Chain A
């Protein structure tokens, strides 16, 4: 790639040196524009990651200080001890992502094709919760799912809780402090991240394609399967990534809506770092989480064939 600009060169100049000076200056413009922001990211985003890599192979204690000893065993110890939390994070995040897709698709479809003049109102109602503290809203789920609350009561009288307990999703007659509550919170918190990209890609679909499918005697379900859904794939891929990645690292839902049996890997990193003060283990766990997510995301993007997305 050359370093010329897209804009056409300045119109026929008279004296050459000044032009050359101006051209050089012009070539440097993008670098001057980038400098402060990129410096910020390098110093406060990239460098800390490198630094954390070195922390993960350090040994020592808070009192005596830490030293790089290339102690890779931290990784194995961390994996050996916390693999249940890793698996749980992936499982919860994947379930929440699928639920977000199933719940979010009709909503995105509604906004894109059915809402008509209500479109802006529905859109505002999807975005507005973003501006209310999500912690307050997550705490509200404690009220909604509370023992003896209406939700538990209804599910109980319908014997739904018996089935979910049998499946291992809930325990006894309660919803709070069960896997179901944590997945419900994760789904709720990341649903807008699914709806918005889905809406963006659905909105781009030419409605005439639907008419054409109808003219060719395709039933609505066939139109959806053969036309709408394939065309919304970029939104599906973007939405699943935007939901899965933060959900896998989240520790707020597991902390507020779950119990010690629902701890996710985020909870472990948080407590290792802020309470146990075992920085090497926290760093190693972060790195395993990051690597696992990067690997899964790369595989997923490759599989879904929309590499231009990233």
Chain B
């Protein structure tokens, strides 16, 4: 008994950490298990019996895969937009000293420090009053807006930590400014840009609050899930949730293996 207690005390931090990890992953497990459920009625909240129906027919629910496609399309475009605009801002902030710097820094910080519902309502007020129709474009505009700051932060951190002498060396070796940028600066900044892009893709794909205010009658995947919480949740939602989790894990694992191999060679 004493030995057990001593062991517990010694590994208290590890055990508590693992418990938190369990708390973090419990819903993912539930989503996985309930993707094999055959529910009785409209909601998939209670276990009935095992079935693989939803996995063999993931698009079997009206509008589900359509909303998924729309969300993917919006995520791709807003990632592209936010990454290009954000990288430009990050380079300006990391490389140059200019008068408007503090103001720009504040403008970048504010969207990250503002409750989403405030941003969502104010942007929607603007669209309403300008008579702009809600839909694909208003969602895209909103997503680029809130993803921008995250890209800037990720890229800026990377560019700030890079050695400026590398670029000077390239110039000493008669590289033109364009060559220096493409062959030296961009490859070094690439992991930061990739991180920013990945983050904005995830944020855009998953956003509900801002989209809910600025979508009108357009239905993205998170909005489909939200609606289904009221009307009835098809099992296919769990299938897609599980698939997303697995794809994410595989992508991250793949990236790790790739970077590990590169480091070794």
Contact check: which of B118, B202, B242 meets A249 at CB < 8 Å? B118
Q: Is the CB of A40 within 8 A of B225?
A: no
Contact check: which of A29, A37, A126, A252 meets B89 at CB < 8 Å? A37
0/1 string, B212-254, CB within 8 A of A gives 1: 1100000001100110010001000110111011011100110
Contact check: which of A38, A270, A289 meets B107 at CB < 8 Å? A38
Find chain B residues with CB under 8 A from A125 CB.
21, 24-25
B interface residues, tally (CB under 8 Å):
87
Q: Is the CB of B122 within 8 A of A52?
A: yes
Q: Is the CB of A6 within 8 A of B95?
A: yes
Residue A139 interfacial (CB < 8 Å): yes
Find chain B residues with CB under 8 A from A248 CB.
115
Q: Is the CB of A279 within 8 A of B20?
A: no
Residue A23 interfacial (CB < 8 Å): no
Q: Is the CB of A34 within 8 A of B24?
A: no
Question: Considering residues B27, B98, B110, B247, which has the most beta carbons from chain A within 10 angstroms of its beta carbon?
Answer: B27
Given A114-B17, A132-B28, also A266-B141 (CB < 8 A): no
Docked CA distance A282–B120 (Å): 11
B81 to chain A, nearest CB (A): 8
A interface residues, tally (CB under 8 Å):
90
Residue A46 interfacial (CB < 8 Å): yes
B167 to chain A, nearest CB (A): 8
Given A122-B21, A125-B24, also A293-B107 (CB < 8 A): no
A165 to chain B, nearest CB (A): 23
Given A110-B17, A289-B115, also A44-B24 (CB < 8 A): no
Residue A136 interfacial (CB < 8 Å): yes
Docked CA distance A38–B104 (Å): 8
A25 to chain B, nearest CB (A): 12
A205 to chain B, nearest CB (A): 15
Q: Is the CB of B27 within 8 A of A188?
A: yes
Residue A128 interfacial (CB < 8 Å): yes
Contact check: which of A27, A38, A132, A191 meets B31 at CB < 8 Å? A132
Residue A137 interfacial (CB < 8 Å): yes
Docked CA distance A180–B12 (Å): 25
Q: Is the CB of B142 within 8 A of A44?
A: yes
Closest to B256 in A: A120
Residue A177 interfacial (CB < 8 Å): no
Residue A61 interfacial (CB < 8 Å): no
Residue A76 interfacial (CB < 8 Å): no
Q: Is the CB of A131 within 8 A of B244?
A: yes
Docked CA distance A203–B91 (Å): 27
Q: Is the CB of B95 within 8 A of A52?
A: no
Closest to A126 in B: B24
Binds B, one of A141-149, A153-161, A209-217: A141-149
B208 to chain A, nearest CB (A): 6
Find chain B residues with CB under 8 A from A48 CB.
119, 122-123, 125-126
Q: List 23 A-B contacts (CB under 8 A).
A: A27-B98, A30-B95, A38-B107, A40-B144, A42-B107, A51-B122, A52-B122, A103-B16, A111-B17, A114-B14, A128-B248, A129-B25, A130-B202, A133-B206, A139-B233, A143-B30, A191-B24, A250-B115, A251-B209, A270-B212, A286-B122, A290-B118, A293-B115
